Amino acid sequence: MRPAVFFDRDGVLNEDDGYTFDPNKIRWVVGAQQAIKAVNDAGYFAFVVTNQSGVARGFYEERHVRNLHEWMSHELAVIGAHIDAFEYCPHHPDGLIAQYRVLCNCRKPQPGMIKALLERYPVDVDGSFLIGDKQSDLVAAQAVGIAAYLFDGANLHAFITPLLDERSPDPRASSTVA
């Protein structure tokens, strides 16, 4: 069992420019890649949980979402960092695309994406936390008893460092990571 950091994506890892899906237009938030590296090095799982209603709205397709996440993974690999899993919700109740026009249980503030990750990975819930830039992110985490912090948008590495230090549960955690 290891704790996890759940990152919202838009507005936390990359600047929220509105329905971003093109790697050529993505702008990393300052300190985001270093923050993920710090999470890796501290022995936490690093997860992304992101609402992508642009799929339901017909602005882009699921393959574009996955493509962007692959691109982000490649970028992170350059500095030896990684995301353990990306979860996205392509739905919206008012979507244009019929197959995605549903009231789902994964669109935050619903906790479905977090729950799915908790089922797939051996996560220490008590030691875990989420970082989001909207109240709906925090509500999703709190619904499953996970601490949550509202990112101020400045420097993600500076923001997360004290959280990792203060919450760092087990000094052995970092040594268990190869």
Q: Would you please indicate which residues are annotated as catalytic (active-site) residues?
A: 8, 10
- Partner touching 106 among Zn ion, Mg ion, none, CB below 5 to 8 Å by kind: Zn ion
Phi then psi for residue 49, to 5 deg, are -130, 110
Residue keyed to tokens 């109740």: 93
* Using rule CB under 5 A, residue 87 touches Mg ion: no
Q: Which amino acid is at 16?
A: D
CB of 68 to Zn ion, least distance (A): 18
Please count the residues of this chain forming the interface with Zn ion, following the rule CB under 5 A. Answer: 5
Q: Which is nearer to Mg ion, 29 or 123 (CB)?
A: 29
153 conformational bin, left if phi > 0, alpha if psi -120 to 50, beta if neither: left
Query: Which of Mg ion, Zn ion, none has residue 87 at its interface (CB below 5 to 8 Å by kind)?
Result: none
x/- binding map, residues 44-73, to Mg ion, per CB under 5 A?
Answer: ------------------------------
Alpha helices in 6-53 (DSSP H): 32-41
Q: Which of 110, 37, 22 is nearest to 76 (CA)?
A: 37
Nearer to Mg ion, 2 or 108 (CB): 108
Integer Cα distance of 19 and 52 in angstroms: 7
Per CB under 5 A, contacts with Zn ion among 77-96 are 89, 91
Q: Return the residues of window 107-146 that contact Mg ion according to CB under 5 A.
A: 133
Nearer to Zn ion, 33 or 52 (CB): 52
The mark string for 95-124 relative to Zn ion (x by CB under 5 A, - otherwise) is: ---------x-xx-----------------
Contact between residue 46 and residue 84 where contact means Cβ atoms under 8 Å apart: yes
Q: What backbone torsions phi and psi does residue 77 show, to the nearest 5 degrees? A: -60, -30
Cβ-based nearer residue to Zn ion, 30 or 116: 116
Provide the edge-to-edge strand list for the sheet that holds 45-51.
Answer: 85-89, 45-51, 4-7, 129-132, 147-150
Residues forming contacts to Mg ion in the complex (CB under 5 A) are 8, 10-11, 133
